[in-house]
């Protein structure tokens, strides 16, 4: 479980999920190590029994591939697969039936009942539960392998209404009475679709979908097709992925490919903010994770329209752009950059980023346009929308951004306002992601003023689970509306503590900002007095966790909010944050203003490899 999590925290965290899923149906494809390891077997049996006891309908479809293969070896039968599908001749079919229906199914039923459940073992042949026909995989005859034509849901629903847990062996029957071996993943998807299930779970022996060793927390249909074509998703994972999208198309709300080697993995996935696998979603682009309004592309003024999975999409897009800098998805597009405030990192990162993506940055300072004074925000929004494909604005008052968004017809990005600084926080969490330090439940401690940066951290806590602490003296609290909205999301623990040492205790990240921001110069002496003792020093860092990372959004007043020793110390990632403003903002720009075709990435990858080969040949 999460670090520093009490039993009370766990129960409180689980309560809204229990209420949400009461009466819903979950279909679980049970397989892999979870079926063979004694501890994992007990964990699984207790999990499904608990789920049933609290009012969730559970249907289990099990595999048994290892047992079938082992028995085939003992009988001298050859085992053959094609893209994860077992080629099944007449002798192998008898082996499948003996193993799945005769032993495996009954072992699972006995295990659940021993742990307090009420399981009933079935095969797809019982009551014509799974009516099947011969399955030709891309025109290839796999023998007695079937695909589901229909599911007798009345039979399953009767068992569920009687408080039972159906445990189904994936062997179906054809119209002519012929038996068929059905891939358990495909059978589970068909059953979940027929039952209009809330969730479909695939238990695997890996963390989820891994691409080049990296976990993909969310997978879209287009990317799945690309990965399968490139061989990055192969073997038994292919039918899991394909059946996942089939299930979603047919009405299943969500599909999860989870790590069955983790004890109580199903409970962790359902009732906590701890991710243990990959979630399958339908949307093809990040923009489909972002709501549309006013019949134009969605603005990025805050985190209200961004999901946790959309956040990871941005990370992966930033990674791709770093690896393939030749991509020019903004070619022919111009973006207006409005700067009411002086800027170093924000201006350079956006200006360079747009140029690197092939676009044209149009930089406008306050003296040039006089936003809200010389010209109204209404007029500026209308004019810039007719000249440009987007607007990026760094302003004093957040209301000006809202006016630009309301009256413009192109997307507007908040590059900073007095209320929020979302682009900075995107760079910050991307930096943690790059350092393998971003994880649900981590303790982020912001030492300093409850300003726009702190507000954006709190807003992020509404979509990404964390323990966020603002260490600030009384009178320097964050925006109450932002605070209340994130607390209402109920996925993060958020605290305000006026003791910097107490706040920093056990921190995974210590973050700070200047105590006196631009426009607050008249308050400097008052603020210096109020924040005395809130400096991030080596002494304060000693109260954090041993691997705590130190962050600062810059510019820094060394000796005030942070000491020089800590700022340039080994635990500082401050200048990584600054660099990542460029990379994550490029990803954001692409998601709103451009598009990257997977073939473009593949094309540049191939060209890069060919170039390296040519260079090596010439050198030799």
Domain 436-572 classified CATH 3.40.50.1820? no
As a whole number, mean pLDDT of residues 53-75 equals 87
Q: Tell me, yes or no, if 590 is annotated catalytic.
A: no
CATH code of the region 295-421+581-592? 3.40.50.1370
* Helical H segments across 491-563, by residue range: 500-504, 524-530, 538-541
Whether the predicted pLDDT of 13 surpasses 80: no
Give the residue extent of every domain in the chain. Answer: 63-286, 295-421+581-592, 436-572
Strands (E), 101-232: 119-123, 130-137, 140-151, 165-169, 171-173, 179-181, 199-204, 210-211, 214-215, 218-219
- Which residues, 6+ apart, have CB-to-CB distance to 324 below 8 Å? 600, 601, 604, 605, 608
Nearest to 133 by CA among 143, 121, 118, 148: 148
Judged on CB neighbours under 10 Å (0-12, 13-18, 19+), 334 is middle
Q: Tell me, yes or no, if 185 is annotated catalytic.
A: no
581, 583, 585, 590: which one is catalytic? 581
The per-residue pLDDT for range 323-340, each reduced to its tens digit, is 888 899 999 999 999 999
- Which residues, 6+ apart, have CB-to-CB distance to 611 below 8 Å? none
User: What's the pLDDT score for residue 300?
Assistant: 94
Kindly report which listed range (94-108, 338-352, 495-509) carries the lowest average pLDDT score. Answer: 94-108
The per-residue pLDDT for range 139-194, each reduced to its tens digit, is 778 888 888 999 999 989 999 999 999 999 999 999 888 999 998 988 999 999 99
85, 298, 340, 424: which one is catalytic? 424
Nearest to 241 by CA among 83, 39, 470: 83
The per-residue pLDDT for range 423-433, each reduced to its tens digit, is 999 999 999 99
What's the distance, CA 29 to chain centroid?
Answer: 22
Domains 295-421+581-592 and 436-572 share a fold: yes
As a whole number, mean pLDDT of residues 112-131 equals 93
The answer to whether 597 touches 329, Cβ cutoff 8 Å, is no
62, 316, 345, 394: which one is catalytic? 394
Q: Tell me, yes or no, if 581 is annotated catalytic.
A: yes
Distance, in Å, from the CA atom of 276 to the CA atom of 7, rounded to the nearest integer, reads 20
Indicate the fold that domain 63-286 takes in CATH. Carbamate kinase (3.40.1160)
The per-residue pLDDT for range 562-603, each reduced to its tens digit, is 999 999 999 999 999 999 999 999 999 998 987 654 444 444
The single residue listed with the structure tokens 């199914």 is 105
User: What's the pLDDT score for residue 8?
Assistant: 58
Mean residue pLDDT across the chain: 86
Q: Predicted confidence band at 34 (pLDDT cuts at 50, 70, 90)?
A: confident
User: What's the pLDDT score for residue 339?
Assistant: 96
The per-residue pLDDT for range 398-421, each reduced to its tens digit, is 989 999 998 999 999 999 999 999
Nearest to 184 by CA among 126, 248, 104: 104
Whether the predicted pLDDT of 286 surpasses 80: no
421, 467, 527, 583: which one is catalytic? 421
Q: Tell me, yes or no, if 513 is annotated catalytic.
A: yes
Q: Tell me, yes or no, if 421 is annotated catalytic.
A: yes
299, 302, 418, 513: which one is catalytic? 513
423, 548, 553, 590: which one is catalytic? 553
């Amino acid at each position: 479980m999460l670090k520093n999590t009490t039993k009370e925290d766990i129960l409180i965290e689980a309560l809204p999920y229990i209420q949400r899923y009461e009466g819903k149906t979950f279909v679980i494809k049970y397989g892999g190590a979870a079926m063979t390891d004694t501890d994992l077997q007990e964990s699984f049996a207790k999990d499904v029994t608990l789920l049933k006891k609290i009012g969730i309908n559970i249907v289990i479809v099990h595999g048994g591939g290892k047992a079938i293969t082992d028995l085939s070896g003992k009988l001298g039968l050859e085992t053959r697969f094609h893209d994860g599908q077992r080629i099944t001749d007449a002798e192998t079919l008898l082996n499948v039936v003996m193993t799945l229906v005769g032993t495996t199914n009954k072992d699972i039923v006995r295990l659940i009942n021993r742990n307090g459940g009420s399981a009933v073992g079935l095969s797809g042949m019982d009551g014509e539960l799974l009516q099947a026909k011969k399955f030709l995989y891309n025109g290839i005859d796999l023998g007695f392998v079937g695909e589901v034509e229909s599911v007798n849901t009345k039979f399953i629903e009767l068992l569920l209404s009687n408080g039972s847990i159906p445990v189904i062996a994936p062997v179906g029957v054809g119209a002519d009475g012929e038996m068929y071996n059905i891939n358990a993943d495909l059978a589970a998807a068909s059953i979940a679709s027929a039952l209009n299930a809330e969730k479909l779970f695939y238990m695997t022996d890996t963390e989820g979908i891994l691409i080049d060793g990296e976990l993909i927390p969310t997978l879209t249909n287009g990317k799945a097709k690309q990965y399968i074509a490139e061989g990055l998703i192969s073997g038994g994972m292919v039918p899991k992925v394909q059946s996942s999208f089939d299930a979603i198309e047919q009405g299943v709300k969500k599909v999860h490919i989870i790590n069955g080697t983790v004890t109580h993995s199903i409970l962790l996935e359902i009732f906590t903010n701890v991710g243990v696998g990959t979630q399958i979603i339908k949307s093809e682009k990040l923009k489909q994770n972002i709501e549309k309004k006013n019949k134009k592309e969605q603005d990025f003024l805050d985190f209200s329209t961004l999901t946790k999975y959309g956040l990871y999409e941005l990370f992966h897009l930033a990674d791709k752009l770093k690896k393939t800098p030749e991509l020019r998805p903004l070619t022919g597009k111009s973006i207006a950059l409005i700067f009411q405030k002086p800027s170093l990192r924000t201006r350079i990162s956006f200006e360079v980023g747009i140029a690197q993506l092939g676009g044209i940055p149009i930089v406008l300072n306050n003296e040039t346009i006089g936003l809200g004074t010389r010209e109204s925000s209404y007029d500026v929004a209308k004019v810039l929308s007719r000249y440009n494909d987007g607007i990026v604005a760094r302003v004093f008052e957040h209301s000006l951004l809202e006016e630009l968004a309301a009256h413009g017809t192109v997307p507007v990005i908040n590059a900073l306002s007095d209320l929020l600084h979302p682009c900075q926080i995107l760079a910050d969490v991307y930096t943690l992601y790059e350092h393998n330090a971003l994880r649900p439940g981590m303790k982020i401690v912001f030492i300093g003023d409850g300003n726009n940066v702190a507000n954006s951290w709190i807003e992020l806590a509404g979509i990404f689970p964390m323990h966020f602490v603002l260490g600030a003296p009384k009178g320097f609290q964050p925006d109450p509306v932002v605070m209340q909205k994130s607390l209402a999301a109920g996925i993060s623990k958020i605290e305000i503590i006026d003791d910097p040492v107490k706040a920093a205790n056990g921190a995974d990240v210590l973050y700070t900002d200047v105590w006196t921001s631009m426009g607050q110069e008249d308050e400097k002496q008052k603020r210096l007095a109020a924040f005395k003792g809130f400096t991030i020093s080596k002494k304060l860092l000693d109260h954090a966790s041993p691997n705590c990372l130190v962050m600062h959004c810059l510019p820094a007043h060394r000796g005030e909010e942070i000491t020089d020793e800590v700022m340039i110390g080994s635990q500082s990632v401050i200048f990584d944050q600054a660099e990542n403003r460029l990379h994550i903002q490029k990803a954001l720009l692409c998601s709103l203003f451009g598009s990257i075709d997977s073939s473009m990435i593949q094309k540049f990858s191939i060209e890069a490899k060919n170039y390296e080969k040519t260079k090596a040949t010439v050198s030799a």
